């Protein structure tokens, strides 16, 4: 709008509109250009952010995949690393728990395999000895080069070897039943003095033959508990038999029974050569035989104490041994009054 100055009183106004459509198109073009470049920048930024976010997710997953691959190839110590992503950390934690359980299971299987290998080797060795003796006795008698006295001696030794084979097979059968969980117990209330008296009476003749004093001390009142009489007799037979076997002539084997508030305590004490301290943790292991037992070591199978411990465990009790070289051994069996835990 121009307002010119004129000398007269008449005023003329002039309005000029210049290129209206051209300016609008330029403005629209400018806005479109701005939007295009802004969108392009946003797209690039989105792509960069998406790639970074994807890598942040895929990198931990790739590490987890590599850990699973190493674990499948036997690298049992491989574990998934921690990240800052909650979901992946949860997944990694579950993977590590699974790996720990798998590793522990495989270690247990390897340990069982090693024990089975040792068990088979020990059984083969135990069976070889009496079989070889029986074969030698049989061949000598077949050749007919022995007199009557020698023949009777061979028959006596053959009978001993057969008894040893029978004892070994019985113990192996008991151990196999224990391992398979089919070693039944007939738990009934009873007086623990009864199996002690039975075992002592059954071994009285053997003790006399060996020149060993076998005695028992039990309370005057009944010691009531819940137990399987046959298995307790087997337990005491193993303990008393070991005591008589390893105690020299003139020694003593004593069976004691004590009634305590927490349960009954059975003790079998002998005056044998004792057990070295280094061997005490191993006396209840299968086929373990001490080094301080002289000739009696060869006649044992190393299974009696392992079976004794299993019998005590099934009665929810515990068995302990106290000994020192040269001072005899004392086996203590702690049995609860309620073996079924009811």
User: What CA–CA distance (Å, rounded) separates 19 from 26?
Assistant: 11
Q: Which residues, 6+ apart, have CB-to-CB distance to 247 below 8 Å?
A: 210, 212, 253, 270, 271, 272, 328
d(Cα 223, Cα 257) in Å, to the nearest integer?
A: 8
Average pLDDT over residues 40-53: 81
Task: Inform me whether the pLDDT recorded for 295 exceeds 60.
Answer: no
Contact between 266 and 256 (Cβ < 8 Å): yes
DSSP of 207-267, one letter per residue? HHHHT-EEEEE--SS--EEEE-HHHHHHHHHHHHHHHHHHSPTT-EEEEEEEEETTEEEEE
Rounded Cα gap, residues 89 and 80, in angstroms? 9
119-180 and 189-335: identical CATH topology: no
* For the chain, percent of residues with pLDDT exceeding 90: 27
pLDDT exceeds cutoff 60 at 21: no
Question: What pLDDT was estimated at residue 226?
Answer: 92
Phi, psi angles (nearest 5°) of residue 285? -80, 150
Q: Which pLDDT belongs to residue 5?
A: 54
User: What does the pLDDT average to over 253-272?
Assistant: 94
Quote the tokens at residue 324: 């020192």
Q: Is the pLDDT of residue 326 over 90?
A: no
Residue 22: both structure tokens together: 């051209």
Higher per-residue confidence, 326 vs 315: 315
**More confident of the two residues 280 and 29:** 280
Angle between helices 86-143 and 148-180 (to 10 degrees): 160
Interval 199-217: pLDDT, tens: 999 999 999 999 999 999 9
Tens digit of each residue's pLDDT (9 = 90 or more) over 50-86:
777 666 666 777 777 777 777 777 776 777 777 767 6
Q: How confident is the model at residue 240 (pLDDT cuts 50, 70, 90)?
A: very high
User: What average pLDDT does the structure give for the chain?
Assistant: 80
Answer whether residue 298 shows pLDDT above 50: no
Q: Which residue has the higher pLDDT, 284 or 184?
A: 284
What is each CA distance from 234 to 22, 69, 187, 309, in whole angstroms?
116, 52, 14, 11
Nearest to 303 by CA among 175, 141, 157: 175
| Domain parsing of the chain, residue ranges | 119-180, 189-335
Q: Which fold has domain 189-335?
A: Heat Shock Protein 90 (3.30.565)
Q: How far is CA 231 from CA 57, 110, 199, 250, 287, in A?
A: 63, 32, 12, 30, 20
Tell me whether residue 225 is exposed, middle or buried, using C-beta atoms within 10 angstroms of its C-beta: 0 to 12, 13 to 18, 19 or more: buried
Token pair in block for residue 66: 């590599």
* CATH for 119-180 (3.40.50.2300, 1.20.120.1200, 1.10.287.130, 1.20.1440.230): 1.10.287.130
CB distance 122 to 285 below 8 Å: no
> Does 36 have pLDDT greater than 90?
no
Q: Tell me how crowded residue 314 is: count the other CB atoms within 10 A of its CB.
A: 16
Instruction: Give the pTM.
Output: 0.60
Helical axes 193-202 vs 229-246, angle rounded to 10° = 40
Give the per-residue SS3 of 105-151.
HHHHHHHHHHHHHHHHHHHHHHHHHHHHHHHHHHHHHHHCCCCHHHH
How high is the pLDDT of residue 301? 62
pLDDT of residue 8: 54
User: Can you tell me the mean pLDDT for 255-277?
Assistant: 92
pLDDT grade for 297, boundaries at 50, 70 and 90: very low
Mean pLDDT of 91-119: 76
Is the confidence at residue 246, as pLDDT, over 50? Answer: yes
């Amino acid at each position: 709008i121009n307002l010119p100055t004129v000398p007269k009183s008449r005023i003329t106004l002039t309005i000029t509109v210049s290129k209206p459509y051209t300016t609008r198109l330029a403005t629209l073009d400018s806005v479109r250009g701005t939007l295009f470049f802004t969108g392009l920048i946003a797209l690039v930024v989105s792509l960069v952010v998406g790639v970074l976010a994807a890598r942040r997710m895929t990198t931990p997953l790739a590490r987890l995949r590599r850990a699973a691959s190493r674990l499948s190839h036997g690298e049992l110590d491989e574990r998934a690393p921690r990240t800052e992503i909650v979901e992946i950390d949860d997944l990694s934690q579950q993977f590590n728990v699974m790996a720990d359980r798998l590793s522990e299971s495989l270690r247990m299987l390897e340990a069982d395999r090693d024990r089975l290998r040792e068990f088979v080797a020990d059984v083969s060795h135990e069976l070889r000895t009496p079989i070889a003796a029986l074969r030698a006795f049989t061949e000598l008698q077949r050749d007919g080069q022995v007199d009557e006295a020698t023949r009777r001696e061979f028959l006596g030794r053959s009978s001993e070897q057969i008894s040893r084979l029978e004892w070994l097979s019985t113990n192996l059968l008991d151990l196999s039943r224990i391992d398979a969980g089919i070693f039944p117990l007939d738990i009934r209330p009873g007086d623990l003095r009864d199996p002690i008296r039975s075992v002592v009476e059954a071994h009285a003749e053997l003790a006399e033959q060996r020149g060993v004093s076998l005695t028992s001390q039990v309370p005057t009142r009944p010691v009531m508990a819940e137990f399987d009489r046959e298995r307790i007799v087997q337990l005491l037979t193993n303990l008393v038999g070991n005591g008589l076997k390893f105690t020299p002539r003139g020694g003593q084997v004593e069976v004691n029974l004590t009634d305590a508030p927490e349960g009954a305590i059975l003790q079998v004490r002998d005056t044998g050569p004792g057990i070295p301290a280094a061997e005490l943790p191993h006396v209840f292991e299968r086929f373990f035989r001490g080094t301080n037992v002289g000739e009696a070591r060869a006649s044992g199978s190393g299974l009696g104490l392992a079976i004794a411990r299993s019998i005590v465990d099934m009665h929810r009790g515990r068995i302990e041994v106290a000994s020192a070289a040269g001072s005899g051994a004392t086996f203590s069996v702690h049995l609860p009054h309620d073996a079924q835990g009811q």
